Chain A
Amino acid sequence: NAGVTQTPKFRILKIGQSMTLQCTQDMNHNYMYWYRQDPGMGLKLIYYSVGAGITDKGEVPNGYNVSRSTTEDFPLRLELAAPSQTSVYFCASSSGQAGGRSPLHFGNGTRLTVT
């Protein structure tokens, strides 16, 4: 009964490095999301997916890429890390039974620092 699992919990990157934030869910949810939370700014949607093989941009997609090859996994890729990408990243999933209105189940986040 793990729900949404994110790895790693913490990471420090140097400017220009790349990395992949992992996200997996065991609830057989169709919809998956990546958000970032900056201090005082709430959660901003980066990318989302309504099913395997389908991805769409959210509010702040620049500098990121995603893929959805399976229902369970939705990794987020940072190709050239920049200080502006310092943030806490949350992955979430939902059943999608009510479309984009379905309540989200969140992972515990990945705290990323780019220096």
Chain B
Amino acid sequence: DQQVKQNSPSLSVQEGRISILNCDYTNSMFDYFLWYKKYPAEGPTFLISISSIKDKNEDGRFTVFLNKSAKHLSLHIVPSQPGDSAVYFCAASDNNDMRFGAGTRLTVKP
């Protein structure tokens, strides 16, 4: 069963605009959420995280929003840059293990 879902396989945005990547989860026991970024032929790298006691966490151009009632989180990248082109994975944890979504491929066009 897919407990973490990223329903958009791909997203294309223009350089300088906002990128919004979405993620939904089904397990209400998840209390910590993370985003990872993956370039081809490399492993995922940690980008940003948020605890369930918060609804927003910001780190430079990256902001993650959490809506617990809707079991939904999103990653905003502003402004988007060509170097942000990668696959982004959403992940959720309940302290036992970490479950991942299928990923969204972001392409930022110059």
Whether chains A and B associate is yes
For B93, the chain A residues whose CB sits under 8 A away are: 100-101
Nearest A residue (CB) for B41: A108
The 8 A CB mask of A79-112 against B (1 = contact, 0 = none) is 0000000000010100000111101111111000
Tell me the interface secondary structure of chain B in the complex: loop
The reply to whether A40 and B102 contact each other, CB–CB distance below 8 Å, is yes
Q: Tell me the minimal C-beta distance from B33 to chain A in angstroms.
A: 9
The reply to whether B43 and A108 contact each other, CB–CB distance below 8 Å, is yes
Residue tally, chain B, CB below 8 Å to A: 27
For A59, the chain B residues whose CB sits under 8 A away are: 99
A-B contact pairs, 24 of them (CB 8 A): A35-B100, A40-B9, A40-B102, A42-B2, A43-B44, A45-B97, A45-B98, A48-B97, A58-B97, A59-B99, A90-B44, A98-B32, A100-B93, A100-B98, A101-B93, A103-B34, A103-B49, A105-B46, A106-B36, A106-B43, A106-B45, A108-B43, A109-B41, A109-B42
On B, residues with C-beta under 8 Å from A are 2, 4, 6, 9, 31-32, 34, 36, 41-46, 49, 89, 93-103
